[in-house]
């Protein structure tokens, strides 16, 4: 009975670890595990019809009607910058930052709206100019942004020449070393118990 409980606990740990390791790629421009990532990115950060002013009333109406009040901080890029935003996930436009994140080589101007969760009460609407930090993953044959990461410390690229799209990692399947180690441990526990 104790061996079975050990196997059950090990299996539970493996399943949790597998879920955690699948949330984010280890490097930019690897195959995405989420096919709708780029579309969600566009809906959240480059939606059509965003207000052109910093008027809080206009932004409150827009968020209430278009994006919802579920995120207390929302950043909106200029839809005319779409090509430049996509270029952050390339050798020319972006540099590797960490994990699957890339930082833009050039700064971008965007609007950040801070609101109260659930009520859409606007705390602030601010225009910012910073280097973008984006998660970049391969969808189809293109490396595209799937997540907008905050840059509260106003990080800038190191300019060390390491572009976002590492030609050796492009399109490679994500690493599963931790998951395989977990399954091997489970197998050893199972064999030891019987």
Give 77 or 158, the one with higher predicted confidence: 77
Residue range 38-52, pLDDT digits in tens: 999 999 999 999 999
Question: Is residue 136 pLDDT above 50, yes or no?
Answer: yes
| Domain ranges within the chain, ordered by starting residue | 1-22+174-194, 26-173
pTM: 0.74
Name the packing angle between helices 2-21 and 177-193 (round to 10°): 170
- Is 30's pLDDT higher than 60? yes
Topology (CATH) of 26-173: P-30 Protein (3.10.130)
Q: What is the pLDDT of residue 146?
A: 96
pLDDT-derived band at 166, boundaries 50, 70, 90: low
Give the max Cα distance, the chain. Answer: 70
Residue 41 neighbours by CB distance under 10 Å: 19
Alpha-carbon distance of 194 to 192, in angstroms, equals: 6
Reply yes or no on whether the pLDDT at 188 is more than 90.
no
């Amino acid at each position: 009975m104790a061996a079975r409980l050990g196997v059950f606990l090990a299996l539970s740990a493996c399943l949790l670890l597998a879920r955690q390791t699948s949330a984010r790629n280890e490097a930019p421009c690897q195959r995405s595990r989420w096919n709708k990532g780029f579309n969600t990115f566009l809906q959240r950060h480059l939606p059509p019809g965003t207000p052109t002013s910093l008027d809080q009333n206009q932004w409150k109406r827009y968020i209430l009607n278009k994006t919802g009040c579920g995120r207390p901080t929302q950043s909106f890029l200029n839809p005319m910058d779409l090509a430049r935003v996509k270029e952050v996930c390339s050798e020319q436009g972006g540099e590797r930052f960490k994990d699957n994140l890339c930082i833009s080589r050039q700064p971008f101007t965007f609007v950040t709206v801070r609101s109260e969760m659930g009520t859409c009460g606007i705390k602030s609407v601010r225009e910012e100019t910073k280097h973008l930090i984006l998660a970049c993953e391969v969808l189809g044959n293109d490396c595209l942004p799937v997540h907008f990461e905050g840059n509260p410390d106003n990080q800038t690229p190191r300019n060390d020449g390491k572009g976002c799209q590492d030609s050796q990692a492009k399109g490679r399947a994500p690493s599963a070393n931790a998951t395989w180690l977990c399954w091997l441990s489970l197998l050893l526990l199972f064999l030891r118990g019987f």
